[in-house]
Amino acid sequence: MKIQRYKHDNDISWTLGATLTIELLKCRPKQISRVFFNSRLEQSDSIENLITLCNQHNIPIEPNDKIFNILSPKGNCYVIAEFRKYTGKLSDTSHIVLVNPSDMGNLGTILRTAVGFGIQNVAVIRPGVDCFDPKAIRASMGALFHVEIEYFDSIKSYCAKFPNHLRYAFMLSKSAKSLTDNKFQEPCSLIFGNEASGLPGEYADFCKPVIIKHSSNIDSLNLSMAVGIAIFEYTRNNW
Amino acid sequence: MKIQRYKHDNDISWTLGATLTIELLKCRPKQISRVFFNSRLEQSDSIENLITLCNQHNIPIEPNDKIFNILSPKGNCYVIAEFRKYTGKLSDTSHIVLVNPSDMGNLGTILRTAVGFGIQNVAVIRPGVDCFDPKAIRASMGALFHVEIEYFDSIKSYCAKFPNHLRYAFMLSKSAKSLTDNKFQEPCSLIFGNEASGLPGEYADFCKPVIIKHSSNIDSLNLSMAVGIAIFEYTRNNW
C-alpha cells in the first residue's frame, strides 16, 4: 500500500513517535493496523516495551525508513503507528464543548489538560479542527486516545442529544458569573468559543455565562489556557 | 541601514503586526526607532490610532515593503516596529521564575497569562529562550512589553538578589504540598523547570515544593498550562 501524507478525508492516520504510539497501544490497540520503526532506532527499554505490546495485540511491526521520510521529513521520529480513525461517543458525564476550534496546537493542549484532570468527554462543534491530524495528536502528547471526542454539526444538535446537561458558556456578558464564584452542577457542559471570535452573544440565552476575570492589559486569555483553568477549577476538589 | 533577519545577538528586534506594535507603543515608546507599514495596508481606525501614537512620540513612520519580505515572508503582516531591546528590572513584589525555558511559544503564553492575572515580574534563569525573538513577542500577543523580564546566570544569583522571597518550586517531591492547599506568603517566587526535564530534585532543599495534582494518564501538564494554573490559583482572590 502506498503511503501518502496525512489527509483529513482519509480513514487512516499516524502517530509520529514512540510516546504517542505507546499511548495508542494502551488505549486503542484494535485501531492499529501496523507499526513501523526506523533503522536508526536504537535498542532501549521503551522499544522492548513497544514490541511486547505489539506482540500482545498481534500487531505487525516492521522496519520501513521510507514512511519516515514522507510523514516526518524533519527526522527525530523513529516509530510510527498506522491506525484507523474512529468515532467517539460521549457519555452522560460532564463535557468540554469546543465551538469551532481552529488551532490544532490548542486542541491538543486542551485534550492533554482535560485528561490530566479527569475529563474524558469532549464535543467539537463543526467547523472545527481535525483531532486526528498528526499535529493535533502530537500536541496532545497522546492524551487524545484517552478521550471520547464527538463532532456535532451544530450546538443545537449537541444540546438536543444532552438536554439535561447544565450549560456554562465562557464568554463576556453582563450577567456572567466569575469562575471562582460559580457553583457547577452536574452533569454539565463547559462551552468555549473560537480562538479569534469567542462565543456569539446568543449563547447567553441558553447557557449560564461564566467569565474568567483578568486584567484589561490583555484582550483575552489564550483559548487552551482558558479551558485549562476552567477545568482545573471545575475539578479542584477531585485531586 | 540594512535590514537583516532577527538575531539574538543584535541590539534590535521587531514587532511583526499592528496589534503587537500598538502594545509596544503603549508600554515602551522610547525604545522604538521607527515604524514601517506595507503598501498593501488599508486605511482603518486602528491604523489612524497607530499614526497618532507615532506622532505623539515623534517616531518616524514610513512605507517600506522590503522589510516585510525579509522579516515576515509569509505575509499577513502590514505593520512592523523596530525597537532597541532593553533590560528588565524585577521589583520587590512576587515573581514567576522560569528555569531554562526552551520554547518560545510557551514563554509567550506564560507572559500573556501573567499579565492577564497581574503578575508583572518574570525571572528567566539561563540558558533560556530569548524573550525578544519576534516569535516569543507574537506568542505573548504583546503582553511581553507589560512585563519586567530579568535574566539571571543561575538560580543562585537570583536567590542572592531576592533573599526574602518565599520560594515555591513546582515539582514532584514527597514533601510537595498540593497547589490547592498551599497558602502562599508574599512576596514570593513561583519557580518552574524546563519543559522536558522539570526542576532538579535539589530545589526541594531551598524551596517549598508544590505540586499540581493530576491523573496518572498524563505524564505532566504542558509548562505554560502549569504556570498559568499556578498564577490563576495564586491570584484568585484579586479578581
Contact flag A115-B213 (C-beta cutoff 8 Å): no
Contacts of B219 in chain A (CB under 8 A): 141
User: Rounded to an integer, what distance in angstroms lies between the CA atom of residue B28 and that of residue B47?
Assistant: 18
Helix pair angle (B104-116, A223-234), 10° resolution: 60
User: Rounded to an integer, what distance in angstroms lies between the CA atom of residue A77 and that of residue A104?
Assistant: 19
Range 108-167 of A in CB contact (< 8 A) with B: 109, 112-113, 115-118, 141, 143, 146
- Nearest beta carbon to residue A116 from set B112, B215, B232: B215
Q: Is A187 on the interface with B (CB under 8 A)?
A: no
- Nearest beta carbon to residue A214 from set B116, B141, B224: B116
- Nearest beta carbon to residue A215 from set B109, B116, B228: B116
Q: The complex's ipTM?
A: 0.96
Contact flag B117-A214 (C-beta cutoff 8 Å): yes
Which of A179, A181, A217 best probes binding to B when mutated, by most B CB atoms within 10 angstroms? Answer: A217
Contact in structure between A188 and B214 (CB atoms under 8 Å): no
Closest chain A residue to B19, measured at CA: A219
Contact flag A112-B221 (C-beta cutoff 8 Å): yes
Beta-carbon contacts below 8 Å between A and B? 79
Neighbours of B23 (CB within 10 A): 25
Q: Which residues contact B216 (CB under 8 A, 6 or more apart)?
A: none
Neighbours of B135 (CB within 10 A): 16
Closest chain A residue to B221, measured at CA: A113
Identify the H or E element spanning A109: helix A104-116
Q: Is A178 on the interface with B (CB under 8 A)?
A: yes
Closest chain A residue to B139, measured at CA: A222
Which of B180, B220, B229, B237 best probes binding to A when mutated, by most A CB atoms within 10 angstroms? Answer: B229
Q: Which residue has the cell 513546582?
A: B170
pLDDT at A172: 93
pLDDT at A128: 98
Beta strands in A38-147 (DSSP E): 61-63, 79-84, 95-99, 121-125
Task: Quote the minimal CA–CA distance from B200 to chain A in Å.
Answer: 22
- Nearest beta carbon to residue A116 from set B178, B214, B239: B214
Contact flag B225-A109 (C-beta cutoff 8 Å): yes
Query: For chain B, what is the HEC assignment?
Result: CCCCCCCCCCCEEEEECHHHHHHHHHHCHHHEEEEEECCCCCCCHHHHHHHHHHHHCCCCEEECHHHHHHHCCCCCCCEEEEEECCCCCCCCCCEEEEECCCCHHHHHHHHHHHHHCCCCEEEEECCCCCCCCHHHHHHCCCHHHHCEEEEECCHHHHHHHCCCCEEEEECCCCCCEECCCCCCCCCEEEEECECCCECCCCHHHHCEEEECCCCCCCCCCCHHHHHHHHHHHHCCCCC
Which of B76, B195, B217 best probes binding to A when mutated, by most A CB atoms within 10 angstroms? Answer: B217
Contacts of A224 in chain B (CB under 8 A): 225
pLDDT at A233: 98
Question: Is A16 exposed, middle or buried (CB count within 10 Å of its CB: 0-12, 13-18, 19+)?
Answer: buried
Output the pTM of the full model. Answer: 0.96
Which of A23, A106, A182, A222 best probes binding to B when mutated, by most B CB atoms within 10 angstroms? Answer: A222
pLDDT tens series, chain B, 239 aa: 678 899 999 999 999 999 999 999 999 999 999 999 998 888 777 788 899 999 999 999 999 999 999 999 887 899 999 999 999 999 999 999 999 999 999 999 999 999 999 999 999 999 999 999 999 999 999 999 999 999 999 999 999 999 999 999 999 999 999 999 999 999 999 999 999 999 999 999 999 999 999 999 999 999 999 999 999 999 999 99
Contact flag A180-B118 (C-beta cutoff 8 Å): no
Give me the average pLDDT of each 10-residue run along chain A (239 residues): 86 95 96 94 82 95 92 88 97 98 98 98 98 97 98 98 98 95 97 97 97 97 98 96
Q: Give the 3-state secondary structure of residue A197.
A: coil
Closest chain A residue to B117, measured at CA: A214
Handedness of CA A60, A65, A67, A71 (dihedral sign): positive
pLDDT digits (tens, 9 = 90+) for B206-226: 999 999 999 999 999 999 999
pLDDT at A1: 63
Contacts of A143 in chain B (CB under 8 A): 217-218
